[in-house]
Amino acid sequence: MDNLLTALILSIVEGLTEFLPVSSSGHLILVGDLLNFVGDRAATFEVVIQLGAIMAVVVLYWKRFWGLVRPQPYVRFAGMRGIWLLILTSLPASVMGLLFHSMIKEYLFRPATVLIALVVGAVCMILVERRKHKPTCISLDDMTPRLALGIGCFQCLALWPGFSRSASTIMGGMLLGAKRPLAAEYSFIAAVPIMVAATGFDMLKNLSLFTAADIPFFAVGMVGSFISALLAVKAFVALVGRMTLVPFAVYRLLIAPFIYYFMVN
């Protein structure tokens, strides 16, 4: 793991795609395959650099996270209520991930399964956007336990690499009554606990695979993913109120033939 350019490339891919509905894990698997960066160490590296992207969200939404510790009057998504909503959202995928972690890594971290997930996710995004629905939840303070748990159930789809955690949670939020900007904002915030848990679990399980010499590789990965995620989230927040998920679905469908030709066929 001495190729810092590989770390930089993968970190940029991670940061740009983690919070967009295009699947960061799918892109990392595919780019890693192109760079011949594969195996258990590669898979763990791709999980660990998510910490950089997570920190970007914490920085951008620090007031909301601070409110979980020091709630303010008249702010409903705060304190124990806000923490409970995030727990409800994190619970389904956490349980599924713990139960099927080894199986997911063995059978789903492959270009062919990523390709299928990209296409299926894209079709779902188009169908959700075509569905006529009137939002009942506009802001984070409108979040309910039912909505939080429902989004958490949809988040289980993200255990299929290529489907996209943000796509599954944003679509789930919209189907359950959240306005698109709220669904996106909550998707970013709810990503933090589930990603910290997944990253920590993977690091502890595979710590023996690495040595102190790998620290620069991880450092480059985390810094690169932090900066690129910061830019990606800012851009997406600015656009999500004015555009649908359809352009992201089209992008997924457009890259599918290239993935099939170069990596699956």
pLDDT digit string, tens, across residues 189-205: 999 998 888 788 777 77
Task: Specify the DSSP class assigned to residue 74.
Answer: T
Pair 188, 21: CB distance under 8 Å: no
Distance of alpha carbon 183 from alpha carbon 155, whole angstroms: 12
pLDDT digits (tens, 9 = 90+) for 138-159: 999 999 999 999 999 999 999 9
For the chain, where are the E strands, in sequence order?
A: none
Distance of alpha carbon 177 from alpha carbon 172, whole angstroms: 9
Q: Which amino acid belongs to residue 157?
A: L
Q: Among 45-49, 147-151, 247-251, whose mean pLDDT is lowest?
A: 45-49
Buried b (16+ CB within 10 A) or exposed e, 195-216: beebbeebeeebeeebeeeeee
Sorting pLDDT into bands at 50, 70 and 90, what band is 167? very high
Q: What is the pLDDT of residue 201?
A: 79
Give 214's contacts (C-beta < 8 A, 6+ positions apart).
1
Q: Determine the length of the chain.
A: 265
Q: What is the pLDDT of residue 98?
A: 84
CA distances from 175 to 125, 172, 200 (A): 11, 5, 31
Q: What is the pLDDT of residue 21?
A: 93
39 compared with 59, residue with greater pLDDT: 59
Q: What is the pLDDT of residue 256?
A: 87
Of the candidates 128, 127, 160, 114, the one whose C-alpha atom is nearest the C-alpha of residue 252 is: 114
Strand partners, 178: 137
Radius of gyration of the CA atoms of the chain, in A: 18
Q: If DSSP codes are grouped into helix, strand and coil, which group holds residue 41?
A: helix
pLDDT at residue 36 greater than cutoff 90: no
Q: What is the pLDDT of residue 1?
A: 47
202 compared with 166, residue with greater pLDDT: 166
101 compared with 84, residue with greater pLDDT: 84
Structure tokens at 87: 């727990």
Distance of alpha carbon 158 from alpha carbon 232, whole angstroms: 19
Q: What is the pLDDT of residue 3?
A: 83
Q: What is the pLDDT of residue 154?
A: 97
170 compared with 216, residue with greater pLDDT: 170
